Structures are given as C-alpha cells and as structure tokens.
A and B are shown apart, each in its own frame.
Chain A
C-alpha cells in the first residue's frame, strides 16, 4: 500500500504516447484473435477437461452414495403412508369438529369404511397399523382386526334395498355408463369416488373385469350417502331412500373394536396424517406429539435414546482419552528415535492398522471371555480368584478395551506426523538454558504437539461414535452405541423412519466434528498409513 501512495497507478494504455493503442488495437495472439480472448478460451478448455475427468466419478458418487444419504434424510420426516392409505378419512378428519374431546362424527367413519375396505384388499392396512403402532401401542392389532371384519360389515342392507328398488342398479355395465356421465358424477360425488376406487381395485388387485363383477357394498353405501344428502341426478334411477333401513357405520366400527370410538386413537391418526412429520425426530430425543399436538416428554420408562446418545458420547470420550494416554508415549518415542529404528517399531503400529477389523474383534472376544486367556493368566498368577473371574466382556469395559486397541493407530499416526516436525534442538535449547527434563517437555515440546493431539482426538472420536461391529460383539447390552440401535430398527423392529431420524442426528454430529477437523487439520492433510 505504501507503493500506491507514492507512485500513481500505472496505466500503460493511457500513458503510451502517440496513441499506439488505437493504431494497433489490443495485443493479438498468433491466430489473430485478441490475446485476452485466446487465454480465456484456453482456460475454459482446461476447466472443461478437468471437469470431464472428474464427472464420471462425481456422477457415480452422487448415485451410489449421496442419493442413499439423501433418501435416509428424507425418510426421517416422510410420512405419506397415512394420507396414502386413508385419503378420504384424512380429508374428512380435517372437516371434523369433535376432536379432541369426542370421537369424530359419522362422515369420518363412512370415509374410513371406504378407505379401510380398499386398504384391506391391498393388504396395506397392516403396514399402516405397524406405522401407527410406533406412536401408540395397540393400533397395529386394531387395524389388523378391523381389516378382517370390514368386508363383512352389515352394509349389504343398502345393496339389497337399492337393488330391490331399482334392479338396474345391480348391473355393472349400467353403472359404468352412468359413471361416464359428468353430470351424474357431479351430483353423486361420494358414489363417483367410490366407484372409481372399486374399478381400480378390481383391475389392479384382483385382476378382474369390473364389467363382469358384482359391485361391492361400499359403493352402495356411498350412494346412500349421496341420496340421503338429497341428490337426484337425471338419467340415474331415482330411488326414494327416506324409508330405507339404515345402519350407523360408526356403530359397526365400534362393534368391531371399541377403540374406534376412543378420541385418543383418532387424535393419533389426525396428528400423523400430514405427509411430513417431526414424530421420528421427537422420538429420537425421547419426546412425542402430545394429544394437543405439541411436543412433550415420553413417560420415564420409554426414555432410552437420550441416554443412549449420552452413553455413546461419554464412551467415545473415554476411548479417545485412553488413546491419547497410550498413543502419546509411543508417538513421542517414535519421533525421538533414529529413523531406522522408528521405521521398524512403526511396523508394530501399522500391523494392527492393517489387520482386519473382524480379526481384532475376534481376538478380543476370545481374550476377554471368562474362560479366556486374560482371565486364565490372572488366575494362574493368583491375582484373581478362580470363582470370581473378571467380567470383561459384554459390558462397557469390553467395548472400551477393544475399541481403544482398534483406534489407537489412528491416534498414533497423526501425533507422530506432528511430532516429526518439532526440531529436537528446541528441547536441547531449553535444557541448555537451565530447564530440567520435565520443564523442557511440558513448556516446549508439549505445546508444540497439541495440534497432533487435536487431530488424533477428533479422528478417533469421529470414528468411535459411529462404530457398530465391535460394540455389537463385545458390548453386550450395557456397552452398545447408538449405531447398534439404528441397525436394530432397520433389521428387527422395521421402524425405518426412527432409524433414519437417529441416523440423521448422528450424521449431523459427525459432520460438525468433521468440519472442526477440517478447520484444524484440513482434509488435504489426511495421511494414510504414515
């Protein structure tokens, strides 16, 4: 900046005498184009070539890796199953005024009848039941049981009465002609909707021709609803339904299972009817959507995830800390020994690093058993009584020991590469100025090695909080991590939404730590195997 203050900014074009710029124009490249354009073009081409080299891999990673992660994030909030399986019920619930004090009115049950009848044919009601069961226990059996009953509801009285009043109503061909008429469809909205659903169902699920099948009861029930609402379309058989024997659909549902008139059940269905939900995330932190729709804590006995997250964190910290404790002396030794000796000793660090994870985990499973080598040795040495062998496996101790062994190389390698850069003369200088060994180490060496501790700790911590295999095998029940719970929800309980939400939280945690690691160390400085 001092330069620009003393000398005026140079403007070669303007100060050149004789107007050379206007005479010769801008500088030209060999092919006659302006040099600037030519350079720009070369730069563009270079960028394009680099991009072409990268793009196959980028596309591959986006499809094979990034898309799956995005799918998981999406699944943690996705909740289309309720509105897809019970579209009419969800729409009717939106109009309903009774909730949350009382069970909803008859229209909701009429809509549910149609929805559940169709869902039972597709067998999708059981999946919906399992989904809602995550939020309120008992809903799975409710849907399963009523799904069996719904085909046998006493709504055939409508069918019989309509057919008796107008025999043409029994003919599916006549029906299909009426339902092709827009005016009739407009006058009989519920009937048209039920008819369309029945046609789709017959073709898709049963693979029959709707023109040859008997029209199902729920279509006549919808027709009764339309007529009862006062519809009288022209071109459609006019039936007087005022004398019809009628039946309450609500009562039929109550007869099938009295939980159907429980407002709490309906509140759950209503709460989870939107396409997206925060329910899985609330569940991940031991909360849930209360009856009023606002988040509240789960009962004490159901609170497990926060404890599990907390345990994952503190055990990872314990593992990281043991890694520092064991890794620091080794890294210090390796960095102060002559290179040739250090390289030989380095093999002792790299061999575990390269050995299969399963091998190391098997080794610990074998060693830590109550009848294993460690307990045998301790008994032989007389340190432990034969009857009181140490419980070293299937608890937190087992996980910490095995994981420390597995992650120790990840601590030693970054520590070593940082310590290598500390000139040994610093320690000698400190000592020559009167520092004793400890002061020289503590005041000079240690502060210089802190970046290595930081890098190694974050690396070990990141790796540790996402670990699955080792805790699963040596952790028992008290030494498992959040990852094990995620795996359980994917493969055993099949609550994928909750697994996705737990995974998303863990991912956010890891990415934050990774960001910190990138700030401190930089990804480009990740070194593999020394």
Chain B
C-alpha cells in the first residue's frame, strides 16, 4: 500500500484511492467525536450544537463561560479534588505492590505461576459491573462501603493488572547477570534493586503507573457502588450529568480530560522510545 507502482491499471488506481478514502473516513469516525467536543465547549449559548454565530466564526458566538463554571462551581470542583485525592493513592498502592509481585513472578522458579498470574490479571477481565456488585456486597459487610479507603482499595485492585503486565513485559528483557554483578561488587539486595534494577525497569513501572492512574481517574462503575456522596469523583459527576440534567459544562470538563489524555499519551510514547533505546544498549 506504500504507493502505486507506475504500471498500475486504472482499476487498481480507482480501488487504491477509494480504499484510502474509506480509511480516511474510518479515521474521521475515530477522531472526530473527540475533536468536535473542543469547539463546542466554547459555545456562548447553552446549546450542544454549533450556533449560526459559531459557524460564522463570530467572536460573539464563543465564550469561556463553561470553563469558568467548571473551575468555580463546587459541583465540579469538589469531584475534581476527590478524583485527585483518590487516584494517586490508588496508583501508589498498585505500583508498589504490583512491581514487587512482577519481580517475584519473573524469577525462574515460581510454583503455580500461571494460576497466580490468572488471579492477578482477573480484575481486568471480570466485567466492571460484576466487580462493582461484589465489592458493594463485601465492602458493606466489612464496613468499607462509602469510605475513602474503600474506593482507594477498589481502584488499586483494578489498576494492578496493568502494572503487572507492563512491568513483567519490561522484565522479560532484563539481563539478570547485572544483578549478579552488583551482588558480586558488594551491593546488598536493596541497594541492587534501587541502583541497578529499578532504573532499568523504570519506564515499565511508570507506564504501568500511568495506566493505573488513568484507570482510577476514569473509573465510574465501581465508585458508583463502593463510594458514597463524599467520594463523588469527576467521572461520577459527568455520569450523573449525562443521565439527569445535562449541562454544557460537561463539555468543558471533557476538554480538560482530553488535554490530560494527550499529555499522558505523549509521556507514554516518550517512555516507550526510551525503554527501547535502553534495551538496545543493554548487552542482553
């Protein structure tokens, strides 16, 4: 598909270009719904469609009032802060426990490796509504339902599979003779871990952490059931808004979230490149 040969027939040319048009249409389908949110969020009216002023590119048709509402209204600010209070703690738990376990799993002799792996990956496989139902029943029994720590624990559990997958993937390329060399030179296990192993697997750990963070930051089903009004997060507020009285502020909130995803995407891409470079340099 990398261009047509000079001897291509008319039929082939027609097919080639119509194929490109089809692909462009599919890319449009993928990206347009997200991009269209951004100009709509600057609507001066409380409409969800382009006003004639906006189409005429009249500055009168645009305003930042929905952003002002988003950043001043406690209906949005409180959930935003709740999200920012829950996600980092949940991420820390997932990353700390997940990295240790991934290192353990990558040792050569682990009994029941497949079974353990299946259990650790399960939060990603089980549909969220089922996890949410189970956690609701179980956490109310042990008094965690409707508490901050209940939501943090639930989100940490949901983020763990991502940490396990990314860190084990990084460890596959890890040269074990490096830790032996460090031990040989007199470093204890803790020092070896922080000075030798950690810097090398850091890209995997950070991208796992980003996945865990976005899982918690974007999660709504579990928090709906496990949380109470005091733990209302940003996605929850958006969900309520979409279901009950939809306000255009939601578009401003969505645009803020899109910017966050772009930052995360760029960070991950940089990390991936760095990891590839590091692995290219390592003797293994």
B109 touches A47 (CB 8 A): yes
Q: How many A-B residue pairs have CB under 8 A?
A: 267
Binds A, one of B58-66, B179-187, B218-226, B276-284: B218-226
A selection of 10 A-B contacts at a CB cut-off of 8 Å is A53-B101, A54-B100, A58-B101, A62-B119, A66-B122, A68-B136, A359-B34, A466-B129, A468-B128, A510-B125
Nearest CB of A to B14, in Å: 12
Closest A residue by C-beta to B100: A53
> Considering the chains assembled together, what is the distance between the CA atoms of A496 and B141 in angstroms?
14
A496 to B132, CA, bound (A): 13
Q: What string of 1s and 0s marks CB contacts (under 8 Å) between B85-99 and chain A?
A: 000000001000110
Given contacts A363-B34, A366-B37, A369-B48, contact A330 B265 (CB under 8 A): no
Are B30 and A408 in contact (CB-based, < 8 A)?
yes
Interface size for chain A: under 10, 10 to 19, 20 to 34, or 35 or more residues?
Answer: 35 or more
Chain A residues at the B interface, C-beta cutoff of 8 Å: 43, 46-47, 49-54, 56-58, 60-62, 64-72, 75, 326, 329-330, 332-333, 336-338, 345, 347-352, 354-367, 369, 371-373, 376, 405, 408-409, 437, 462, 465-469, 472-473, 483, 486-487, 490-491, 496, 499-500, 503, 506-507, 510-511, 514, 523-524, 526-529
Contact call A500/B133, Cβ cutoff below 8 A: yes
Of B138, B220, B261, B265, the residue contacting A68 (CB under 8 A) is: B138
Docked complex Cα distance between A409 and B30 (Å): 9
Per-residue contact bits, chain B 120-152, to A (CB 8 Å; 1 contact, 0 not) = 111101111111111111110100000000000
**In the complex, chain A residues whose CB is within 8 Å of the CB of B206:** none
A50-B110, A354-B261 in contact; A333/B125 too (CB < 8 A)?
no
Chain B residues near A57: list those with CB within 8 A. Answer: 97-98, 100-101, 120, 160
Chain A residues whose C-beta falls within 8 Å of the C-beta of B48 in the assembled complex: 366, 369, 371-373
Check: B31 CB closer than 8 A to any chain A CB: yes
Interface membership of B202, Cβ < 8 A: no
Interface residue tally on B, bucketed by range: 35 or more
Query: Is B197 in contact with chain A by the CB < 8 A criterion?
Result: no
Cross-chain contact B133 with A499 (CB below 8 angstroms): yes
Contacts of B126 in A (CB 8 A): 69, 466, 507, 510
| Shortest CB distance B42–A (Å) | 14
Q: Which of B117, B121, B126 gathers most chain A CB within 10 Å?
A: B126
Cα separation A53 to B111 with both chains bound (whole Å): 13
Q: A356-B218, A466-B129 are in contact. Are A490 and B136 (CB under 8 A)?
A: yes
Let me know if B201 is at the binding interface, CB within 8 A. no
> Can you name 12 extra interface pairs (CB under 8 A) apart from A69-B134, A355-B257?
A43-B109, A50-B107, A69-B130, A71-B138, A352-B34, A355-B258, A360-B33, A362-B250, A363-B33, A466-B126, A503-B129, A510-B125
